[in-house]
Structure 1
């Protein structure tokens, strides 16, 4: 297969499309205090603002990946960008929490259409393994730029223009990506197969119910949604393994690299899922940072991630995906352990821990994703990458629930028994009371320690899975060119 002559320009378009999603989600993390004050949002409202997007996004990913393979990856991505931009515009006009939650739901639909298409298009236009590694490493670095720029830009805009600005910035980015995609990007599809409406319905119902159940863990097990998730996903697996034209190639899990890469990345995402939420609250409520300062404080981690992403991309080809991924995950676990020892009087330790964590993520991510993407046939690139995205999204949702629950319970236990109930449940409420502020900050120190020790345990589990399941083969510059049945590996984060 010949590489596309405009493949590097196409990579820029794909990076822009991903950047829209990354900046929005990152900027929103620093907007929570001002958004809650302006809209009069309760803690439950804020939870829905954050989680409604994730709920819809995860529920639709598999269906969106199948649609992109069937009807055209560029077409589906452009539709997603249009919807995401329009919903962002609607979010700026929200005057109450309900309207903002509705806009976030629409943004989740748009995001689910964008995400599977970007990676599948990259697989198609970069058939050469060596070039694909470079392209995915460059794309990952661009995504990290969004991770850095989201909180920093978001914090600055919030301070001067209000929380609405974090949604305004999505509109020109989406418009630019749409124009560039239509102008530069070729259309690509998978082979024509019969639609699988039953599989689509079962996946949407099952994934939505699963993410709902995960997000509600902090309040106890939601037995009804758990039962729906188990029944729907069980029926989905049964149907997909037996139907002649499955929507999702579940047989990919028979490949050790795909199974090992997916499962280990899921556990990594459990650790990463609650990282930014816990740290952002720590910086603003314990350290007293402004939204802009909180965004800037993440820079050490993101710079380390960019640098070591390139290192990880090179090492994966030289010493093998398994070794590089396992080493990176062990370094990540050390970073989470260091974070658990951070305290309100030591930003230095916090910065060092972030550098270690970013370095481990840069090493582990490229090789783990390289291994699993190598098992996906080109003709199923959209739904295969959507399957990977869905697994990781479930891990992130589980991480938010687990780390959030650990932090909440530890914080409540460390607060004085005489403190009001609202102050025991929320540090945001406690720090407004001068008599409780010092105790609340100490309690959140303890809560953060518990959450990040849990994250370290999850990443250690990921390292064990990667060591057992991933193949130890090396992937180098002399790898064979891909055929329609065999797609070589690449890297991203």
Structure 2
């Protein structure tokens, strides 16, 4: 999931719609439809950036390495801005928050149509990430607005999360058709069109007002700036680290150290405040640490789908238009996972949902670990569907459990839970992608070295292969020496591709192993709870009083 799910909350919290009577069915459907449009607008906007980095680089005349800064610029505000958005929404009102947020989003979407150089693109992408952060909040609020209290968690939460999580994958489906031969113009216009439709819906279907509360304190801004700086440094490091390799540029290590120092200073300040922005002591409690570790681990292993298969196919020369069918069925599987949550989600079933999700991911990753250089998207449909379905089986129950735990302590703990979800999902996605890419680069180099050595020890076979390839190039290149060099280059490229596929297989196997270990740990945890419940002495029955 994406980090966009972090702003949902039950209607009882400050700043959220009160428990008003349900709306009439036509009006309720209109609000839920508006939620879907808002969620798709946010999800597609994020997906258009991450999916089209090579095309953006070509449009701006920069390298793909430089273009990766655009993804970092987009993700930085998405990781930290929600911390203040909840308080801003509570203090200044939900309706004003919605209207100003969507206006800013439209203005930034309009500006993105006109970017023509790298610097302006970085600025616009940063503003896009900042303006998209309220959109996920609005998607949840519009989905929860018309529902009766008993359906807000069971129906509203899974559907909103399903659409939000499906947005980036759906962007991979529609991007090739939008790009065509005209560059990114239609991509930007589509994002602008979605933003303008969202603007119309927000003003045409206003959210019901809620009481304002003065909750913002001056020290909140100090803590927010420190946390934002720490998150920004971590995001940049894990986006750029695998590209330049971690030890090649000294500033990556310095930035990581500065990020940790900034977060440590924020924790020190929050521990000594009477009304902290985040309750650090509650966040450090065993139950919340366990929840955070679970969310973070799951976000890491889900990187197999967002970072694994698409990049492997890109390296094998598969065009984006040839992958649209695969991503279409992944999107459909995610939506089915959301519907499964609607049908069976209950607080006591959360461990069962998580266990099933982990097992499905393990099966899917194991199936992917048998890839070859001839593997194409059609061969990965089943495995990727299992992983996409598992993602939606995990996220809504996990978020529901966290919200229940936070609100059981009091509405003021909601913001502390939000930071847990942001850190594990937004940063977890960036960390997962960075670690996955680092592992691929390391294993590819190792496998390539072995393959080159094997080619050197089988010279007759290599010579025969060069002769066959040279003969095949005779009609294109009359010079024998040039044909031989081209044949040798093709063999080296094939070895590199084979090394990459072997590296991805290693990563898929590691993902499978981590999912199985997590499932085993969850089973042991459930078994321990079951044994503890059975060994607990029964409460003695009170005897009847005697006369």
Normalised by the length of structure 1, the TM-score is 0.82
- RCO (CA 8 Å, sep 6+): is it higher in 1 or 2? 1
Matches within 5 A, 1:359-398: 359-377=389-407, 379-380=411-412, 384-385=417-418, 387-398=420-431
Pair 1:266 & 2:322 matched: no
Q: Residue 222 of structure 2 is aligned with which of 198, 202, 207?
A: 198
Structure 1: gaps of 5 or more residues: 420-429, 474-493
In the alignment, structure 2 segments of 5+ residues that lack a partner are 1-18, 453-485, 531-547
- Cα distance in 1 for residues equivalent to 2:145 and 2:419: 15
8 Å Cα contact 1:340/1:448 also seen in 2: yes
- Supply the distance in 1 between the matched residues of 2:199 and 2:159 (Cα, whole angstroms): 21
Distance 1:329 1:263, change over 3 A: same
The Cα of 1:110 is off from its aligned counterpart by 1.0
Moved more, 103-112 or 90-99: 90-99
Query: Which of the numbers 432, 449, 452 marks the counterpart of 1:399?
Result: 432
- Equivalent in 266, 281, 287 of residue 236 of structure 1: 266
Q: Is the 8 A contact 1:260 1:372 kept in 2?
A: no
CA contact (8 A) 2:166 2:334 kept: no
Residue 353 of structure 1 is matched in structure 2 by 383
Q: Which moved more, 1:137-146 or 1:410-419?
A: 410-419
Counterparts of 2:422 and 2:224 in 1: how far apart (Å)?
A: 16
2 CA distance for matches of 1:447 and 1:254? 37
Shift of 1:391: 2.7
Q: What secondary structure is seen at the aligned counterpart in 1 of 2:366?
A: helix
1:224 counterpart = 2:264? no
| 1:30–1:151 CA contact under 8 A, matched in 2 | yes
Kindly state the Cα deviation for residue 364 of structure 1 after the two structures are TM-superposed.
1.8
Mapping of 1:294-443 within 5 angstroms? 294-317=323-346, 320-347=349-376, 348-377=378-407, 379-380=411-412, 384-385=417-418, 387-415=420-448, 434=490, 436-443=492-499
Q: Distance in 2 between matches of 1:19 and 1:459?
A: 29
How big is the shift at 1:242?
3.4
Query: How much does 1:408 deviate?
Result: 2.1
CA distance in 1, matches of 2:518, 2:264: 24
C-alpha spacing 1:250/1:267, structure 2 compared with 1 (3 Å):
same
Query: Could you tell me how far apart the structure 2 residues matched to 1:79 and 1:382 are?
Result: 22
> Matched residue of 2:302: which SS?
helix
Asked if 1:208 corresponds to 2:232, the answer is: yes
Distance 1:15 1:239, change over 3 A: farther
Give the 3 Å change call, closer, same or farther, for CA 261–465 of structure 1 in structure 2.
farther
Q: Select 1:449's aligned residue among 478, 500, 505.
A: 505
Q: Contact 2:102–2:199 (CA<8 Å) still a contact in 1?
A: yes
Q: Secondary structure at the match of 1:229?
A: helix
- Give me the whole-angstrom Cα distance separating, in 1, the residues matched to 2:405 and 2:348: 19
What residue is the counterpart of 2:31 in the other structure? 10
SS of equivalent residue, structure 2 residue 509: helix
Question: Which position in structure 1 is the counterpart of 2:195?
Answer: 174
| Cα distance in 2, alignment partners of residues 177 and 124 from structure 1 | 16
- Matched residues in 2 for 1:350 and 1:132: separation? 33
Query: Could you tell which deviates more after superposition, 395-404 or 246-255?
Result: 246-255
Please give the per-residue CA displacement for 1:93-134, whole angstroms capped at 9, x wherever unaligned. Answer: 222333322211111111233334544675676562334311
Contact 1:73–1:120 (Cα < 8 Å) also in 2: no
Structure having the higher Rg = 2
Alpha-carbon distance change, 118 to 318 in structure 1, aligned in 2, over 3 angstroms: closer
CA contact (8 A) 2:112 2:188 kept: yes
**1:35 maps to which residue?**
56
- Give the deviation of 1:395 after TM superposition: 0.5
Tell me, yes or no, if structure 1 residue 44 matches structure 2 residue 65.
yes
* Distance in 2 between residues matched to 1:42 and 1:359, nearest whole Å: 35
Q: CA deviation at 1:53?
A: 0.9
- Determine if contact 1:416/1:439 at 8 Å carries over to the other structure: no
Q: 1:248 to 1:464 in 2, by over 3 A?
A: farther
Which has the higher mean CA deviation after the structures are superposed, 5-14 or 304-313? 5-14
Q: Which residue of 2 aligns with 1:276?
A: 306
Query: Matched residues in 2 for 1:83 and 1:314: separation?
Result: 37
What is the deviation of 1:182? 2.6
- Offset of 1:463 from its aligned partner? 4.4
Structure 2 counterpart of 1:115? 136
3-state SS of 1:376 partner: helix
1:162-185, CA deviations, whole angstroms, 9 ceiling, x for partnerless residues? 123222211121122122123322
More moved, 191-200 vs 462-471: 462-471
Which deviates more, 253-262 or 185-194?
253-262
Matched, 1:106 2:139: no
CA shift in 2, pair 1:418/1:454, >3 Å: closer
Q: Which runs of structure 2 are paired with 1:53-64 in the superposition (5 Å)? A: 53-64=74-85
> Structure 2 vs 1, CA of residues 331 and 278 (structure 1 numbering), >3 Å: closer, same or farther?
closer
Question: CA-atom RMSD, angstroms?
Answer: 3.3
Contact 1:261–1:466 (CA under 8 A) maintained in structure 2: no
Where 2:322 maps in the other structure, the secondary structure is: helix
Q: Which moved more, 1:374-383 or 1:85-94?
A: 374-383
